[in-house]
Amino acid sequence: MTHDSSSVDDEHSRPVGVNETTVEALGELSKALETIHRVRGHLYSAHQLVGGADLTLDRVVKLMREAGHDQVADRVERELLGRNVLPGRWTFQIMEEFDDGYYAAFQEIERDAREKLAGGRRHIHEAEMKQRRRTPGMPGHEATPEA
């Protein structure tokens, strides 16, 4: 498969000597990182949902007491309110560990691979795909925003 980088901006053009398999591998690594970005978002959603549910328990306890269900209110207050979601951890601690560990390592490894193999350029695979799939001269098919 040939590639025509004449209409691909310099930021996304394939550096000389970088082969198709390397571009494909970097594209797959980028795709995997994008999936991890989505995972991070889902984890933050879980963090916020769990926090909101925990705060709702205050109202549950209040209403249970008003309804005369002190034993249920006591149990909710004692066993659920403020409970760790994992041993020793609230969700904010899980998020911090994820961000500082797996997420940071994934981002750094992807960046390092791009630096070492493609001069730091991102989305080479996608830029070449765009070039192959667009119709030059058609509105909405411009190679770059400036074109």
- Domain boundaries of the chain, sorted by first residue: 19-127
Q: Counting every residue, how long is the chain?
A: 147
Query: What's the rounded mean pLDDT across residues 105-124?
Result: 94
- How far, in Å, CA of 94 to CA of 88, rounded? 10
At residue 2, the pLDDT reads 41
Inter-residue contact 36 to 135 (CB < 8 Å): no
Q: What are phi and psi of 84, to 5 degrees?
A: -65, 140
| pLDDT tens track for 21-55 | 989 999 999 999 999 999 999 999 999 999 999 99
pLDDT above 90 (res 5): no
pTM score, two decimals? 0.81
E strands, 30-133, in order: none
- How far, in Å, CA of 136 to CA of 130, rounded? 11
DSSP-based three-state secondary structure for 86: strand
Specify the higher pLDDT residue, 8 or 89: 89
pLDDT above 90 (res 1): no
pLDDT above 70 (res 112): yes
- How far, in Å, CA of 10 to CA of 22, rounded? 18
